[in-house]
């Protein structure tokens, strides 16, 4: 069965719910035990306490297991919580972590503050390291964290080469933040990664109205992952899970449109004289294009655009009055967003070369012609602000 079909079916059990198409929402802390036997043998029961799941959350886990090809999935309150639970599942004091230098910024903050405080040392590595990662592996390295393409900068990592280097040692777990591609376009577990992270807040929920994350695991890491979620007390609101499941049903169709429109815009931006370069791995000529073509099945709609040098006032003229591209965090919703930042503020192993601001564009579901018109007006304002 193709993934486009799978997302419409996974986790549904109408026969258990009076024929109703979507699994109902269970609001629960207490779940009653019918007998003393049941009370005393809770290990054998599917549902024991709201914190550990209900038929509603179980349905979403089941759907994500199917899509990720996973032995287990845990649902946590945010994408960032998915990152922290995955890391805490496999690391302990005295361990060493290899973290990709282009990772999502709050992931870095967690490593530099909390993991450090608990005695885990982090080394940041070049996203282009590939098989060269072996040179950084130490005796006490216990995890390698990947994110491809990189947050903000969109470098493609050679996931199979890094997994092979990790697999040369049995005691290293690989973790990948796969939020950009979603399991529709890249399946980390099928490529030998142990833990696959998804910020459900992005494409899968798709409507900029909820926060959730998932971590999906292969069989060898499943027990450690489930224990970490349980012991950390991570629980999620049932209504958010319901909305995430609703988003999942249409994600394949939405993502296809996000990707197609983003390529229209990326091609258009690349021809603009105000643009230094466009960073979009699905665009032929991009440095990551060969790896993207080899490993990924499709493209998401988020990419970067580096402008030529301009002042803050000029950038303000460009960004502030936009009608469709609005400034705001997150992405993956139906509406377009634009942000800017200097990736070097979040890098230590490598340097990001750019003469002007690095913009991140999240291409929404608006018609690309309207998005181009919005950008065209922004460039006119930028040029007007540049004139003496």
Ligand X SMILES: *Cc1c(COP(=O)(O)O)cnc(C)c1O
Q: Using CB under 6 A as the criterion, which residues of the chain lie in contact with ligand X when the complex forms? A: 78-80, 83, 104, 147, 151, 177, 179, 199, 201-202, 211, 213, 330
DSSP for 222-256 reads HHHHHHHHHHHT----HHHHHHHHHHHHHHHHHHH
Distance CA 173, CA 221 (A): 8
CB of 19 to ligand X, least distance (A): 34
In this chain, which residue has its C-beta nearest to ligand X?
Answer: 79
CB of 201 to ligand X, least distance (A): 3
CB of 86 to ligand X, least distance (A): 11
Nearer residue to ligand X within complex by CB, 70 or 83: 83
CB of 77 to ligand X, least distance (A): 8
Nearer residue to ligand X within complex by CB, 201 or 339: 201
Nearer residue to ligand X within complex by CB, 83 or 91: 83
Nearer residue to ligand X within complex by CB, 302 or 378: 302
Nearer residue to ligand X within complex by CB, 94 or 328: 328
CB of 80 to ligand X, least distance (A): 4
CB of 199 to ligand X, least distance (A): 3
Distance CA 367, CA 257 (A): 10
Nearer residue to ligand X within complex by CB, 239 or 320: 239
DSSP for 138-165 reads -TTEEEEEEESSPTTT-PPP-HHHHHHH
**62's tokens:** 């089941």
Q: Please identify which residue in the block is written with the tokens 């429109």.
A: 261
Question: Measured between alpha carbons, how far apart are the two ends of the chain, in Å?
Answer: 61
Q: State the SS3 of 170-200.
A: CCCEEEEECCCCHHHHCCHHHHCCCEEEEEC
Distance CA 351, CA 127 (A): 11
């Amino acid at each position: 069965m193709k993934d486009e079909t799978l997302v419409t079916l996974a986790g549904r059990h109408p026969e258990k719910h009076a024929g109703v198409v979507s699994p109902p929402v269970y609001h629960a802390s207490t779940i009653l035990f019918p007998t003393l036997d049941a009370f005393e043998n809770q290990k054998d029961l599917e549902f024991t306490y709201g914190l550990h799941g209900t038929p509603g959350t179980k349905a979403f886990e089941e759907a994500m297991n199917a899509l990720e090809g996973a032995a287990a999935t845990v649902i946590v309150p945010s994408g960032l919580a998915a990152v922290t639970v995955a890391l805490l599942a496999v690391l302990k004091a005295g361990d060493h972590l290899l973290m990709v230098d282009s990772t999502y910024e709050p992931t870095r903050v967690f490593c530099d503050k909390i993991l450090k405080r608990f005695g885990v040392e982090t080394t940041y590595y070049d996203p282009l390291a590939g098989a060269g990662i072996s040179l950084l592996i130490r005796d006490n390295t216990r995890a390698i964290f990947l994110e491809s393409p990189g947050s903000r900068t969109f470098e493609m990592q050679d996931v199979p080469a890094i997994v092979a280097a990790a697999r040369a040692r049995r005691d290293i777990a690989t973790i990948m933040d796969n939020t950009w591609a979603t399991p529709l376009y890249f399946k980390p577990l099928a490529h030998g990664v142990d833990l696959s992270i998804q910020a459900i807040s992005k494409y899968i929920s798709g409507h900029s109205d909820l926060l959730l994350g998932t971590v999906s695991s292969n069989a060898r890491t499943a027990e450690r992952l489930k224990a970490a979620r349980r012991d950390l007390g991570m629980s999620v609101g049932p209504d958010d899970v319901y909305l995430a499941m609703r988003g999942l049903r249409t994600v394949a169709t939405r993502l296809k449109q996000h990707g197609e429109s983003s390529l229209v815009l990326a091609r258009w931006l690349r021809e603009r004289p105000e643009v230094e370069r466009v960073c979009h791995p699905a665009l032929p000529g991009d440095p990551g294009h060969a790896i993207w073509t080899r490993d990924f099945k499709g493209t998401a709609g988020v990419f970067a655009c580096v402008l030529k040098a301009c002042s803050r006032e000029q950038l303000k003229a460009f960004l502030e009055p936009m009608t469709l591209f609005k400034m705001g965090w997150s992405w993956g919703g139906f509406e377009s967003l634009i942000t800017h930042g200097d990736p070097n503020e979040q890098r230590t192993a490598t340097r990001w070369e750019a003469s002007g601001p690095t913009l991140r564009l999240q291409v929404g579901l608006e018609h690309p012609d309207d998005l181009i018109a919005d950008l065209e007006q922004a460039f006119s304002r930028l040029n007007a602000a540049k004139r003496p």
